Copies of this chain bind each other. A is one copy, B any other.
Amino acid sequence: MFEQKIKNVKATIERIRAMLESRPFDTVYFVACGGSRATMNPGKYILERETDKITTDIYTAKEFVQAPPKRFSENSIVVLNSYSGTTAETVEACQLAKEKGARTIAFSMFPEKAIGIADEVVFYEDEPSNPPPNFLTIFPAVYQVVFTILDVLEQTSYTPLIQHAMEQLDHIYATERAKRAEELRAFADKYYNEPIFYTTGAGMDYQMCYIMTVCILLEAQWIHSAAFHAGEFFHGPFEVVDKNTPYFCVLGLDETRSMEERALEFLLRYSDKVFAIDAKDFDLSSIDERVRKFVAPVILNRVMQMYGETLATRRAHPLSIRRYMGKVKY
């Protein structure tokens, strides 16, 4: 069923490819808020490293509206993401982009809502029974769009490789969950009472840490948290670490891995509360080698979330509880 949902996006991807090919573009902006923004960060990261045909950047939606980059024009592609389809700042950014004559692509679970004004809406079908954030199908949707953009620009053929990779995720997630059953329990037992939990990673993984920090720890667990880029860790953040400072580390497979290893090594020396997830432990044999490093952050995100879910259960604080969001006016 998960695989089927990923396949369902394919028809939209074909239309997006046609839209991209219809006339040249020189900038690609990823624009959204919070977890929805961070989910698209691999887009900026991958495009800016794999192509020099365009420039790309990522913005929190309101800042894009209030202070857009000067290169933003009718030759821009603006890629938006709103789970609910109604995030006010993101809808506003979409309106602005359309007024400007830019082409717009939006991801949403509710394409019939306000965000539906985008030129193309990628309907990603997560399980409504899972409270947001669950990110199960948004990453596959984002990746298919990002690699379609890359393929159009560079005449490469990454998209089928990525589509195939995304169809393997469900199986990889199940394997990781089963393999980690004992460790997930032990994690929750050790950390359920911590008032604070830092996260760190580098490259694309950094924004996966941001998602863990912002969407799981702060938003859904009310646990104090900050995400630090592993390359920045030694330039300030590490001074707060003592034996009792919980740190969640991730290690990926790309060029930036050594930064993550360095932070982990330091933390293991100075804190007794370090937990790491290493993408080298994932069985990625079903995924084409050429795209493994790109896919690793997606799996890191999902596996991190498993620990968040276990923690939530152990703390009897369901991931769906909010005290402000959707409850008070702001």
Interface of A toward B, CB cutoff 8 Å: 33-37, 48-52, 55, 57, 60-63, 66-71, 87, 89, 196, 202-203, 213-215, 218-220, 222-229, 231-232, 234-241, 254-256, 258-259, 262, 265-266, 270, 322-325, 330
How long is the Cα–Cα vector from A265 to B329 in the complex, in angstroms? 11
Tell me which residues across on chain B come within 8 A of A48, comparing CB atoms.
Answer: 57, 69-71
- Cβ contacts A to B, 26 pairs, < 8 Å: A33-B232, A35-B235, A48-B57, A48-B71, A49-B68, A52-B70, A57-B57, A60-B231, A62-B231, A66-B255, A66-B259, A196-B224, A213-B226, A214-B237, A215-B236, A218-B240, A219-B240, A222-B239, A222-B240, A223-B240, A224-B224, A224-B240, A225-B226, A238-B324, A239-B323, A270-B324
How long is the Cα–Cα vector from A213 to B236 in the complex, in angstroms? 9
Q: Contact check, B63 vs A51: say whether CB atoms are below 8 A apart.
A: no
Q: Is the interface of A mostly helix, strand, loop or mixed?
A: mixed
How long is the Cα–Cα vector from A42 to B228 in the complex, in angstroms? 20
Tell me which residues across on chain B come within 8 A of A57, comparing CB atoms.
Answer: 48, 57
Q: Contact check, A34 vs B236: say whether CB atoms are below 8 A apart.
A: yes
Tell me which residues across on chain B come within 8 A of A34, comparing CB atoms.
Answer: 232, 234-236
Q: Contact check, B239 vs A324: say whether CB atoms are below 8 A apart.
A: yes
**When the two chains form the complex, which single residue of B50, B68, B218, B239 contacts A219, counting CB atoms closer than 8 Å?**
B239
How long is the Cα–Cα vector from A89 to B256 in the complex, in angstroms? 13
Q: Contact check, B256 vs A63: say whether CB atoms are below 8 A apart.
A: yes
Nearest residue (CB) in B for A216 is B236
How long is the Cα–Cα vector from A35 to B235 in the complex, in angstroms? 7
Shortest CB distance A238–B (Å) = 6
**When the two chains form the complex, which single residue of B63, B223, B224, B226 contacts A203, counting CB atoms closer than 8 Å?**
B63
Known A35-B235, A231-B62, A232-B33: A55·B52 in contact at CB below 8 Å: no
Q: What are the 10 A-B residue pairs with the smallest beta carbon separation, nearest first?
A: A34-B235, A226-B226, A214-B236, A219-B236, A60-B231, A55-B55, A52-B70, A33-B235, A66-B255, A62-B231
How long is the Cα–Cα vector from A231 to B62 in the complex, in angstroms? 6
Q: Contact check, A232 vs B60: say whether CB atoms are below 8 A apart.
A: yes
**When the two chains form the complex, which single residue of B33, B224, B330 contacts A266, counting CB atoms closer than 8 Å?**
B330
Q: Contact check, B239 vs A322: say whether CB atoms are below 8 A apart.
A: yes
How long is the Cα–Cα vector from A92 to B74 in the complex, in angstroms? 38
Interface centre among A63, A213, A255, A262 (most CB of B within 10 A): A63
Tell me which residues across on chain B come within 8 A of A262, comparing CB atoms.
Answer: 330
How long is the Cα–Cα vector from A209 to B22 in the complex, in angstroms? 43
Q: Contact check, A258 vs B203: say whether CB atoms are below 8 A apart.
A: no
Q: Contact check, A70 vs B51: say whether CB atoms are below 8 A apart.
A: yes
**When the two chains form the complex, which single residue of B35, B214, B239, B256 contacts A218, counting CB atoms closer than 8 Å?**
B239
Q: Contact check, A219 vs B237: say whether CB atoms are below 8 A apart.
A: yes
Q: Contact check, A234 vs B330: say whether CB atoms are below 8 A apart.
A: yes
Q: Contact check, B69 vs A49: say whether CB atoms are below 8 A apart.
A: yes
